[in-house]
């Protein structure tokens, strides 16, 4: 699934292609993909002829600054992919949106499960979106642990669920949340408010290293609906995951069999020995 490292990997390859480029064509073949656009026609109308200033990111949302005070938002959902192709290239199945630039390139938005979306918002529209309440970016703006302690206090929700709550911190998904909890020696089901100060410190300190490791390897491509880099390469972090998807295998730290439980409706993988 595209989480922060995957989205950041995509952002980095998209930025040089889009920044300074002018949009010369827009095609939407699947109206569901622009469902967050208050008026569906705006997506095309607002991009056509406009120059892209910069390609940013907050959590798993790609935020592309477009001239005219517009923000072009791309969320990959769980099966979304971006392909960067020469103009007129073939479209793979489930290519729902194609945006062409004056550099003879096309951005293909591919999303079999259509959980992702693509839209261009004015500032007011942007602020009205639910994701305007996104928490600090897990890579760039993570608060130091003393600031996190009061935010966990008295919370009964499982710490795993809190890590997945994008209003708490933006960017972690099911894979990296499990990896972060394993690194921090914390069980995913622990009520958030029961973490000691030291555990909060460890957890806080685990987020950056885990995300940067994922980023270093170009993200995680699972074997099914693979997340792929815009040039078609697979991310190579899958083989380096410590717990996610590894039920029945042995924990690299103590050899205990990794277990799978469901927490907050999401499968969670963890070591019953070294995660307390």
Q: Which of 11, 60, 190, 242 is catalytic?
A: 60
Distance in angstroms (rounded) separating the CA atoms of residues 1 and 79: 7
What SS3 state is found at 92? coil
Pick from 25, 53, 105, 129: which binds DNA (CB under 7 A)?
A: 129
* Contact status: 161 vs DNA (CB under 7 A): yes
Cβ at position 128, least distance to DNA in Å = 10
DSSP string, 117-133: EEEEE-HHHHHHSGGGG
* Contact status: 175 vs DNA (CB under 7 A): yes
Distance in angstroms (rounded) separating the CA atoms of residues 143 and 129: 24
For DNA, the closer CB: 23 or 117 = 117
- Catalytic annotation present for 11: no
Pick from 164, 210, 215, 228: which binds DNA (CB under 7 A)?
A: 164
The separation between CA 270 and the C-alpha centre of its own chain, rounded to angstroms, equals 21
Pick from 90, 150, 156, 231: which binds DNA (CB under 7 A)?
A: 156
Distance in angstroms (rounded) separating the CA atoms of residues 131 and 219: 23
Please, are residues 234 and 223 in contact by the beta-carbon 8 Å criterion? no
Sheet architecture: strand order including 81-86? 23-28, 95-101, 105-110, 81-86
Q: Identify which of 226, 229, 227, 188 has the alpha carbon closest to the alpha carbon of residue 206.
A: 188
Site string for DNA, 7-46 (x = CB under 7 A): -------------------------x--------------
Distance in angstroms (rounded) separating the CA atoms of residues 138 and 208: 7
Site string for DNA, 222-251 (x = CB under 7 A): -xxx--------------------------
* Contact status: 220 vs DNA (CB under 7 A): no
Look up residue 171 and give its two tokens. 């960017």
For DNA, the closer CB: 131 or 217 = 131
Cβ at position 146, least distance to DNA in Å = 19
- Residues annotated as part of the active site: 2-3, 60, 266
Q: Which positions touch DNA (CB under 7 A)?
A: 1, 3, 32, 59-61, 75, 77-79, 93-94, 112-115, 129-131, 155-158, 161, 164, 166, 173-175, 192, 223-225, 262, 264-267
């Amino acid at each position: 699934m595209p989480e922060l490292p995957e989205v950041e990997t995509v952002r980095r390859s998209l930025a040089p292609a889009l920044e300074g480029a002018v949009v010369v064509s827009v095609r939407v073949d699947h109206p569901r993909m622009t469902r967050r656009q208050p008026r569906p026609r705006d997506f095309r109308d607002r991009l056509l002829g406009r120059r892209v200033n910069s390609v940013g990111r907050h959590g798993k949302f790609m935020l592309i600054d477009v001239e005219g005070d517009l923000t072009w938002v791309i969320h990959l959902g769980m099966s979304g992919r971006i392909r960067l192709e020469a103009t007129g290239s073939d479209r793979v199945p489930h290519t729902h949106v194609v945006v062409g630039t004056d550099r003879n390139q096309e951005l293909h938005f591919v999303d079999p499960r259509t959980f992702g979306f693509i839209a261009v918002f004015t500032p007011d529209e942007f602020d009205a979106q639910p994701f305007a309440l996104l928490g600090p970016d897990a890579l760039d703006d993570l608060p130091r642990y003393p600031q996190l302690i009061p935010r966990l206090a008295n919370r009964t929700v499982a710490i795993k669920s809190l890590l997945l709550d994008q209003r708490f911190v933006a960017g972690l998904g099911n894979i990296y949340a499990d990896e972060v909890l394993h690194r921090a020696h914390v069980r995913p089901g622990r009520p958030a408010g029961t973490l000691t100060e030291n555990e909060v410190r460890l957890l806080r300190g685990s987020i950056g290293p885990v995300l940067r490791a994922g980023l270093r390897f170009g993200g995680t491509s699972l074997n099914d609906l693979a997340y792929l880099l815009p040039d078609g390469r697979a991310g190579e972090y899958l083989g380096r995951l410590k717990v996610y998807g590894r039920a029945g295998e042995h924990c690299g730290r103590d050899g205990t069999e990794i277990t799978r439980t469901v927490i907050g409706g999401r499968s969670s993988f963890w070591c019953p020995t070294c995660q307390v």
